[in-house]
Amino acid sequence: MNLKATELRLGLPGTDESQKEYSSFVKSNKRSSEGMDSSCNEEECATAPKAQVVGWPPVRSYRKNVLQQQQKKSDSDVSGMYVKVSMDGAPYLRKIDIKVYKNYPDLLMALENMFKCSMGVYSEREGYNGSEYAPTYEDKDGDWMLVGDVPWDMFVTSCKRLRIMKGSEAKGLGCQ
């Protein structure tokens, strides 16, 4: 900031100050180096490459907190939703990105191809009864659920891992 040694007096400001060119209008008002927002943690800095000015944009902190949590969720959206898939009897697990699939039939077809098994068709009443294998998943609460019960979008956000169970074991899940 250009500090002129101005004469202090109680008088009207003159109009001799020349208008600055817009293009040369230096963004020197931003105290970005001194004014790093004290609440700016590493995560915020990582997502916002620009240096943050204290208190700008003028958003209240309780709003910022809500949005930060939402940001974390959407960040995981961007990076893909990889979950482990195990199959009973298989020697090792696989990993798939469930975001790649648009709906249950797509997912089931991919699993059937990957593991060379058949899981049949889902029905609300019977689950996958009658099939050799049945797909199950662990949800956010840690419970093992049958794949297909909830709307697809809900499944994608709550699925933590998949397990392809032997049909005989899955009988319990399919019954009403």
- Establish if 55 lies at the interface with other proteins (CB under 8 A): yes
Beta-strand runs (E) in 15-103? 82-87, 94-97
Q: Which residues 6+ apart lie within 8 Å of 167 measured at CB?
A: 128, 129, 130, 131, 132, 133, 134
Smallest gap, in angstroms, from Cβ of residue 92 to other proteins? 31
For residues 48-82, one letter each, b for 16 or more C-beta atoms within 10 angstroms of the residue's C-beta and e for the rest, the string is: eeeebeeeeeeeeeeeeeeeeeeeeeeeeeeeebe
The DSSP code for 123 is B
- Establish if 142 lies at the interface with other proteins (CB under 8 A): no
Judged by CB under 8 A, the residue of 36, 71, 99, 156 near other proteins is 71
**Choice between 63 and 116, CB closer to other proteins:** 63
Q: Is 56 helix (H, G, I), strand (E, B) or coil?
A: coil
Smallest gap, in angstroms, from Cβ of residue 164 to other proteins? 22
Q: Which amino acid is at 52?
A: Q
**Choice between 9 and 102, CB closer to other proteins:** 9
**Choice between 95 and 144, CB closer to other proteins:** 144
- Establish if 48 lies at the interface with other proteins (CB under 8 A): yes
Question: Containing H/E element for 76?
Answer: helix 61-79
- Establish if 52 lies at the interface with other proteins (CB under 8 A): yes
Residues of this chain that interact with other proteins (CB under 8 A) are 1, 3, 5-6, 8-13, 15, 17, 19-20, 22, 25, 27, 29-31, 35, 37-39, 44, 47-50, 52-64, 66-67, 70-71, 139, 150-151, 154, 158
